Amino acid sequence: MVDKAGFGSLIAGLVLIALGAYGIFMYFPDVITVLKGSLGIIALLIGIFLAIIGVLIMKE
């Protein structure tokens, strides 16, 4: 027997995957722009953390 909550979650997940794929397909140039911006933000945050860790290591 399949659990009703698990089956409902599976169906909801598949619907959300389909809607997300449709949204990515329809707005692909915007998706690329967001990804580029996200990569820049991630690089900035990693740089800040590395600088902070470097300062903390030099203090010791």
Report the pLDDT value the prediction gives residue 4, as an integer from 0 to 100.
Answer: 83
Look at residue 2 and tell me whether its pLDDT is greater than 80.
Answer: no
Distance CA 47, CA 22 (A): 34
pTM for this prediction = 0.56
Residue 31 near residue 24 (C-beta atoms within 8 A):
yes
Tabulate helix, strand, coil % of the chain (nearest 5): 90, 0, 10
User: What is the domain partition of the chain in residue ranges?
Assistant: 4-59
Cα distances (angstroms) measured from residue 14 to each of 35, 40, 50: 23, 31, 39
CB atoms within 10 A of CB 31: 13
Report the pLDDT value the prediction gives residue 51, as an integer from 0 to 100.
Answer: 95
pLDDT in tens, 11-57: 999 999 999 999 889 999 898 899 999 999 999 999 999 999 999 89
